[in-house]
Each structure stands twice: as structure tokens, then as C-alpha cells.
Chain A
Amino acid sequence: MSASRARWLPLAVFGVILALLAAGVWLSRSPDRDALPSPLIGKPAPAFQLPVLGAPERLVTQTDLRGTPYLLNVWGSWCPGCREEHAVVNAFAKTGRVRVIGFNWKDEPEDATRWLAQFGNPYDLVLADYDGKAAIEWGIYGAPETFLVDGGGTILWKHVGPMTDATIREQLMPLVERLEAP
């Protein structure tokens, strides 16, 4: 090793460390940095049996939802992010492109009902997961979270955190269009 190369080596090492640091800072800028990749993408929707909000005697299972694609939106009246997201979900439901199904997570039924009355109900159907057992099957760990499931019951997409108009436009719509294509 020549003397000049030996002299530049520490600087080169410093440069590499600096680049790694910059990459770390750059990656941590992403608002989705806390989002875990779901292992359920491409897999069948997990088994569950849940009552419908407001009609506890009516039980719905994953096979009942098959036939046409649906968007499963996880929310709770206790969740500030869901409140923030709700206008976006309302607007998307109005387009009628895909059924929107609510997954009311660990909520008091009367709180959930009041919340929907106050802010609007975009859901075809709201499933109530009072004890959080079904949420574990879906790998849900916070609210809001949203899944897109196709007519055959396969999970195509998951979004963690509040959806925005940009999320709908850039991520969800291309998938919906692919589902609608003959």
C-alpha cells in the first residue's frame, strides 16, 4: 500500500460513514417509516366471525364478504387519526367504485354509532371487533389501517395510518382500475 493511499484511507472511511448517516436521516424522513410491511399481502383474508354494528345478532364471516372487492377500513371513535381520515373515506365511498366496509376496533357500540351519525357513515357495513381478537388475525396494530381485498378474498394492499387524497389517487386507484379491467 502506497503512502498516499494510506493517507486517504481515513478520509474515505469517514466519507462512507457520512454517507450511511445521510442515508439513515433521509430514510427516516418518510412519514411511513413506522409502517410494518404486512405479510398478509397476496394471501387470503383471515378467518373471522364478527357482529354488525347496531345489529349484534347478525354475524358476518370472511366468506360472506366474497364476490366483489372491498376496502376494509379500521377505525375507532377514540382514534384522532380516523377522524382526520374520515372525510377522505367519505369521498371515496361516494364514488361507488368499491364497497367500503368499516372495521370498528375496540369501541363502545354507542360511541361508534354516535361518531358515524356526527361525521357521516361511508360504510356499506360496519363490523364490530369489541375484544380485538379478529384484529390480531388481520395483523392490525393501530388505527387507522386500510386493506383492499379482491372478490376472491385475497388481500391486495394495506395502508397504515390516515389515507389522504394522494394515497387514494396514487396507490388505491391504480389497483381498483386493475380490478375493474375485464
Chain B
Amino acid sequence: MIRTALLALLLCLTWPQAARAQVAVDAAPLRFEDTAEERRFHSLVAELRCVMCQNQSLADSNAQIAHDLRREVLTLMREGLDDPAIKAHLVARYGEFVLYSPQVGPSTWLLWFGPLLLLGAGGVVIWRVVASRKQAAPLPPDDTETW
């Protein structure tokens, strides 16, 4: 009871504006069967985004939901799902937001190809500026300048 009250108090003090909250983190670490499993797990969680914290991967985040989702990812791996299937599993529940590199689709094509479009537009502008300069008559040499 006292422990919970202290945790709640700590949460209020450290995060006064938080209307939405997370439970205190449980410390039980994940255990891996071998290094191959551990390596696969780490590369997978680095590609998934923490749903609570916007700019952290699932690997980096210390939020409770990130702990739960890491455990879920490991469970799914052990159930024999491959990486795309695990990602699809999380996307079905939390949406595209969980992927750090979103799939190419109608809602994401601007994200993927926007920079290329911008580069193309810039190229066209430069090309036109250069072309118009070529057409203009060259300036006559200015003899009055001393430098």
C-alpha cells in the first residue's frame, strides 16, 4: 500500500502534466535461449516504435507498454512467427505508427517520394535559371572598376 502510494506520488511529481499515465515499470528482465534469438530480438525491436513515446524505438523505451510489447514480441518469436508476421501483428493492433519505416502505400507515398519530388522541382528551377542566364546578353566589361 505504502509502496503504491509512493509510486503514485513519484509519478505525480515527475510528470505533473500527464493526464495519461503508465504503471511503474516491473524489473523482470527478458531471458533469451541463445545469442541468435537475442540478436534477432534486438534487431526487431529497434525497428518498432514505442507507441507511448513518439520518438523512441521499442528497444530504447522504458515505458511500461514498451516492456509489455517487448515481451509480446519475444512470445510471438517463440510461437514461430517470422519478422514480417510479427510486425503485421502489431500494426493490426496499433496501426502503422509502430513501424519506423512505414510500408509504401496510398497514405505514405508522399513520405517516401516527397523528398525526391522536391529534389526534382529544385532541379527544374535551377535548370530554368541557368537557361535564362545563357539567353541574356553577357555584361560589357566595366573599365571603371579598380579591383
Contacts and interface: CB of A to CB of B under 8 A. Distances in A.
Interface of A: 1, 6, 9, 34, 36-40, 46, 76-82, 84, 105-108, 110-111, 132-133, 135-139, 141-144, 160-162
Contact of A132 (B8, B68, B125): B68
Given A1-B128, A141-B65, A78 B93 contact: no
Contacts of B65: 132, 141-142
A139 B97 CA distance: 12
B69 A37 contact: no
B137 interface: no
A1 B21 contact: no
Contacts of A133: 72
B129 A143 contact: no
A34 B54 contact: yes
Contacts of B27: none
B4 interface: yes
A111 B3 CA distance: 11
Contact of A139 (B4, B7, B94, B128): B94
Contacts of B51: 36, 141
B30 interface: no
A106 B64 contact: yes
Contact of A76 (B18, B23, B125): B23
Contacts of A139: 93-95
Contacts of B21: 76, 78-82, 142-143
Q: Is the interface of A mostly helix, strand, loop or mixed?
A: loop
Given A81-B18, A81-B19, 10 more contacts: A78-B8, A78-B21, A79-B21, A80-B8, A106-B23, A106-B64, A136-B68, A136-B69, A139-B95, A160-B20
Contact of B92 (A1, A39, A144, A162): A39
Interface in B79-106: 91-95, 97
B20 A144 contact: yes
A177 B95 CA distance: 28
A137 B7 contact: no
CB-based closest 8 A-B pairs: A81-B19, A139-B93, A142-B20, A141-B51, A79-B21, A132-B68, A39-B95, A106-B23
B12 interface: yes
A1 B132 contact: yes
Contacts of B69: 136
A6 B95 CA distance: 45
A92 B79 CA distance: 42
B11 interface: yes
A142 B52 contact: yes
B4 A143 contact: no
A57 to B, nearest CB: 25
B116 interface: no
B19 A136 contact: no
Given A80-B19, A81-B20, A108-B4, A37 B52 contact: no
Contact of A78 (B11, B54, B92, B132): B11
Given A80-B11, A108-B4, A162 B19 contact: yes
